Amino acid sequence: MNDFTAIGRRRLLGTTAAGLAAATLPLGGALAQAKPLVVGFIYVGPRDDYGYNQAHAEGAAALKKMAGVKVLEEEKVPETVAVEKSMESMINLDGASLVFPTSFGYFDPHMLKMAAKFPKVQFRHCGGMWTQGKHPANTGSYFGYIDEGQYLNGVVAGHASKSGKLGFIAAKPIPQVLRNINAFTLGARSVNPAITTQVIITGDWALPVKEAEATNSLIAQGVDVVTCHVDSPKVVVETAERRGIMTCGYHANQAKLAPKGYLTGAEWNWHKVYGDFIADMKANKAPGNFVRGGLKEGFVKTSPYGAAVPEKARTMADGIKAQMLGGAFTIFKGAMKDNKGNTVIAAGKSHAQTDPWLESMNWLVEGVIA
């Protein structure tokens, strides 16, 4: 049931302007769109968490500036029946035709149920494993190979660290996190094969006191560069800066929080992904179902180097980045052992970034203490 009469005043002006603009633009395509394209975003946490959710919100904000696009957002939606109803409400009451549930736990069963119920609406999930034949055609998943950014983080950290000990504060030991830990360590060890990464797991995505304690514990062990994979790296970065050690950022650019110690960071560039999806929708084409990309495709980016980064590090990292941009660099290639001594990648074998095997990673590479 489309109920445009209930739109609040703030949205009304925006919608009218967008609607007028869309109606008056000469459209050389097949169908002229008098109604704006309504896109829905659903975040699992607060959209200003200086991290994961904020990165998506910034992508959404870029879409708001586009003509003919109306963006709906809901934040702090739990991964229960609530998200099903949020999606349904966006579709029924606001006419959404493209929905982005951005948290991993939204995929199964929630998004799949809604996709089956609304076959005309497109659903794209962040981080899920869409499989042809198993999942409906109006769903799909997208993600960025941010581990490339973490690899570069590791390279810079490897140069900058004087103690040879790096620290990684992780929320949960899930494949996406393990992949980041491994990439970071591999990057550092390509500079100094004796470097180790100490991992502390806090247990949940946003636990500021635990994250601060973890940072302090790592420093007590002699760690002098720290990075993290939690929803909001703010506490880790600020605590590290206060104790005088260096940090590599994640999700978004935290350089402002650590003017002395910030080295570089791995950031999302979601507005590129979302922009591509919108372009597809506007051309009346369904967006891709399994969309992945790294530095080359512009899905992720790196932060500018901080003052503490030595010249050697910049050169080496820039060199590797250029290779990645050209698609010529493989992070996960054999022979590779895990931190228990088993061989996880045989000699001569290599896994390209797009290899789905990497998305179910459950091991930690040699050199990670965890």
To the nearest whole angstrom, how small is the minimum distance from the Cβ of residue 165 to other proteins?
7
Q: Does residue 303 interact with other proteins by CB under 8 A?
A: no
- For residue 101, whether the previous peptide bond is cis, meaning omega lies within 30 degrees of 0, is no
81-99 burial, b if ≥16 CB within 10 A, otherwise e? Answer: eebbebbbebbeebbbbbb
Q: Does residue 182 interact with other proteins by CB under 8 A?
A: no
Q: Does residue 109 interact with other proteins by CB under 8 A?
A: yes
Rounded Cα distance between 316 and 311, Å, is 9
List the one residue from 139, 202, 302, 303 that touches other proteins (CB under 8 A).
202
Q: Does residue 120 interact with other proteins by CB under 8 A?
A: no
**Contact stretch for other proteins (CB under 8 A) within 55-63, 150-158, 184-192, 232-240:** 232-240
List the one residue from 58, 94, 280, 338 that touches other proteins (CB under 8 A).
94
Comparing CA positions, the residue from 99, 132, 95 lying closest to residue 15 is: 95
Rounded Cα distance between 140 and 289, Å, is 4
Q: Report in angstroms the alpha-carbon separations of 198 from 214, 233, 244, 319, 366.
A: 11, 17, 18, 27, 11
Rounded Cα distance between 198 and 185, Å, is 10
Q: Report in angstroms the alpha-carbon separations of 143 from 3, 122, 288.
A: 33, 16, 12
The binding track of 8-47 with respect to other proteins, each residue x by CB under 8 A or -, is x-xx----------------------------------x-
Kindly report the backbone phi and psi dihedral angles of residue 142, in degrees, each rounded to the nearest multiple of 5, phi listed first: -135, 150
Q: Does residue 257 interact with other proteins by CB under 8 A?
A: yes
Q: Does residue 100 interact with other proteins by CB under 8 A?
A: no
Q: Does residue 112 interact with other proteins by CB under 8 A?
A: no
Residue (153 or 161) nearer to other proteins, CB: 161
Residue 113 burial (CB count, 10 A): 14
**Contact stretch for other proteins (CB under 8 A) within 25-33, 132-140, 208-216, 329-337:** 208-216
Kindly report the backbone phi and psi dihedral angles of residue 158, in degrees, each rounded to the nearest multiple of 5, phi listed first: -60, -40
Subset of 322-361 contacting other proteins (CB under 8 A): 359-360
Q: Does residue 198 interact with other proteins by CB under 8 A?
A: yes
List the one residue from 19, 35, 172, 297 that touches other proteins (CB under 8 A).
172
Residue 165 β-bridge partners: 196
Subset of 128-157 contacting other proteins (CB under 8 A): 129
Q: Does residue 275 interact with other proteins by CB under 8 A?
A: no
Residue (245 or 320) nearer to other proteins, CB: 245
To the nearest whole angstrom, how small is the minimum distance from the Cβ of residue 141 to other proteins?
11
Comparing CA positions, the residue from 232, 233, 259, 262 lying closest to residue 246 is: 262
The sign of the CA dihedral 100, 102, 104, 108 is: negative
- SS in 3 state form for 137-156? CCEEEEEECCHHHHHHHHHH
Q: Does residue 50 interact with other proteins by CB under 8 A?
A: yes
Comparing CA positions, the residue from 105, 111, 134 lying closest to residue 124 is: 111
Q: Does residue 58 interact with other proteins by CB under 8 A?
A: no
List the one residue from 125, 210, 229, 271 that touches other proteins (CB under 8 A).
210
Per rule CB under 8 A, count of chain residues that contact other proteins: 80
List the one residue from 162, 194, 341, 347 that touches other proteins (CB under 8 A).
162
> Which two structure tokens, joined as six digits, stand for 188?
């550092």
**Contact stretch for other proteins (CB under 8 A) within 61-69, 200-208, 301-309, 330-338:** 200-208
Residue 172 burial (CB count, 10 A): 14
**Contact stretch for other proteins (CB under 8 A) within 5-13, 21-29, 61-69, 267-275:** 5-13
Residue (243 or 296) nearer to other proteins, CB: 243
**Contact stretch for other proteins (CB under 8 A) within 60-68, 85-93, 292-300, 303-311:** 85-93
